[in-house]
Structure 1
């Protein structure tokens, strides 16, 4: 990228132009998603992406960072995540080493030692603080809050507060405010409902599984070594698998894994024998594999 991130973000003139730029980074989007992402950039609002696993939510944030030529900072959410783990932590081993070194040097000024112990150099910035500190008018960062539905209600309320004014208070150092709000993408697999208050702060978009034609295009774009025939067979089989009552229907990520596995084996076609030995690339639960094989792989591949 030759332009800086701020100029690139402000120079994107339409959803169609953003779609073209995402395409150049290998991410094929539809009109709805391109419009939602474009509005998030222009309105400086967080973008909340919801949908089943593997439909391209995380990949969009990565591609936006490429388009904007800016750092991607990822906060992976999980049960039990608290504010300290997302914000900052003090480097206690380094603080202790500094204290012992000062004592060995005969430093007796207690007030000075205490102030030095809570200097910025001993602060470990976690994702939220890093996003605020690295986001500037010339180069706003992209903050990905991944799988926010896995975090607890308390963390969700805290996150809402941070996203409201992009300010963090550190008692020992003062207030950190982003010079420019980062581009924020939140994702959810909808394992639980996220509170309305957080959704209201964001622009919302539900990601569907791609159409057959778009999935073929995605596979060909990401894996050019796979010819159109093989990509079409994989996409068609993945579409049929999503219509089954499976514990974990395959997303685009699994379609790509399956295609890559077939290419690695030198397969020219997806036939029942090849599908049987590579099923673990697309179905990640034993029960799903048993269900599909019991029905017959011929039915999966030939639409019976």
Structure 2
């Protein structure tokens, strides 16, 4: 078997990667291999995308060590280069790893990354940008931006994320004047938040049957039509019990592709991709792709 070049992108800023010996722990867990290892570690969060681009350019296999944001950036450039991706999850939520059955234990994940098989893995796409978990904008992006501010002050944790989200609900909401084109049909509506889910684990937090409907088949659109603060808080309460479909002001739709435009002067929109804020040009073209990327994982999803 010819020698592989493996590029390992390590984000020590992820929740469980904040230790000085992370690389040493990975090296200790490596199976015996003739692979040529290249290590990449961005010194600043702003350089992560550029580092992932360099890694994918020189590797036969890209290994992402970090949370879902790190994995998304590495996957984006691995897909462009036609390279397989492996994941060693060290983030807070690790939604992709949990969905694919990738171990969250570092030793087990490292062994799988170097000995497992890459398989076609579904993902979402917006204007050429990949996402595994979600693409969202409107009120959701405000919650993400507030979470990052609060995290800088209080540290990264689930409690901080929840409290930050609740605090954001008491501020002014964006009102989005949407134009949706899908299946040859077009319609208009006003919304406070738009959420496209590609990972059933995340969709299940708002509606479990809807998540099952979308799993491995489609993007799940969760559209929050314009409503007052009291109704938003009621919806948040409903979401705790995973029955958001019971709230009449929410619309849940499974779809393969859609074009989304917004009536606004600024043609660049802040979008949350797997929790990372990215500016995208309108209109947004979203689609569900089943085989555009190979990911090392234990078994086929279905």
**TM-score, normalised on structure 1?**
0.23
Question: Structure 1 or 2: larger strand share?
Answer: 2
Please give the TM-score of this superposition, normalised by the length of structure 2: 0.23
